Amino acid sequence: MKKTMTLLAGSLLLGNMLQAQDATVSGLKKVAERTTHDDTTYKYNARGWRRGGLFNFSLAQGSARNWAAGAEKSSISVAGYSTLFANKKKGNFFWNNNLDLGYAVQRTSSVGTRKTDDKIDFYSKAGHQLNPKWALVGVFNLRTQMTDGYDYDYLAKGIRRRVSGLFAPAYLLVSPGVEWKPVSYFSVMLSPISARWVIVSNDPYSYYYQDGSIPLPDGGQEVPLAALYGVNPARKVSIEAGAYFSANFFKEVFKNVSYKSRLDLFSNYLGKRDPLTDVKISAEPKNIDVFWTNSIAMKVNKFLSVTYNLDLIYDDDVKQFGPNGDSPGTQIRSLLGVGLSAKF
């Protein structure tokens, strides 16, 4: 399942690249060949910096009364997304920085207010250009979220238990490698050895019951929050080293329609420690961690746009799924929004 899912993710991204090179697409006007960051709106200043960003805000409201098919009496959802970038270029040196922020909440008459999206993703890449297509690069990536997330049916009792938060977890990666960039809107970076830290520093135990002791008739001991992400709560940090692959695609595929995608794969060479017993576990490089994020933005007019976001994550250390809630699983999140957008 893990290999199939990884191959599927890679095949889909490769298919997008090949489609972008199709003769039909290549025959479009030049304006449809530009990436958003290569738009003439963004120009390098005297110091070699180019800065800008995109912002989208959407609001949806619904209501129903005596609806035979069944519907929420009232619902409202609010979502905001922002992409900020600051790129520097001087001679053969370049430094690209990208910050993606997203947050969305929904309130319904039946379950109240719940978070439906929350992300902080900072991606920084510096490098030296060897020739037009190849470069030596170094990547720094930080992923976490802004606010607490909850399991709203903990122990199948309708209990709300905190299962995530700011820097709980956080994924920090440092990776040197080589980059191949055959066209301006697509690049592939490969590193044979990278370092990754998984951090759960914000209340790593986060028990619902005092000291984590579940009262009778259920009984037992709660699993600490950090252990849900493969981190020993006493240590708060898990260190990994392995191979890293990152493919980036960012292009205005049609006029006023842009597609942004990033696929990250990480294979850990090091052995791990059981987050509960601290016993050494042998390395399993075949268990590849997958992070795939996609965003489609369709501009209706100067201020109105339609956006669709799809994120897919697989991490063998995140064991919160399956019949008993103790198995890894593919995490998928998507959100469609219509709202106001601005470029700056």
Of the candidates 75, 56, 98, which has an alpha carbon nearest to the alpha carbon of residue 309? Answer: 56
Domain range summary for the chain, segments of one domain joined by +: 2-343
Q: What is the pLDDT of residue 195?
A: 97
- Name the band, by pLDDT with cuts 50, 70 and 90, for residue 46: low
Residue 269, exposed/middle/buried by CB under 10 A (0-12, 13-18, 19+)? middle
Contact 131, 181 (CB under 8 A): no
Phi, psi of 200, deg, nearest 5? -130, 85
DSSP state of 25: H
Mean pLDDT check: name the lowest of 9-13, 203-207, 220-224, 319-323: 9-13
Q: What average pLDDT does the segment 250-266 reach? A: 94
**Token digits of residue 194:** 């990278």
Strongest mean pLDDT among 68-77, 200-209, 327-336:
200-209
Q: What average pLDDT does the segment 141-160 reach? A: 94
- Name the band, by pLDDT with cuts 50, 70 and 90, for residue 68: low
Q: What is the pLDDT of residues 1-16, one digit of tens each?
A: 444 444 444 444 444 4
Q: pTM of the predicted model, to two decimals?
A: 0.83
Contact 246, 269 (CB under 8 A): no
Q: What is the mean pLDDT of the chain?
A: 85
Please check the confidence at residue 80 and state whether its pLDDT lies above 70: yes
Please check the confidence at residue 18 and state whether its pLDDT lies above 70: no
Contact 305, 324 (CB under 8 A): no
The alpha-carbon radius of gyration of the chain (Å, integer) is 22
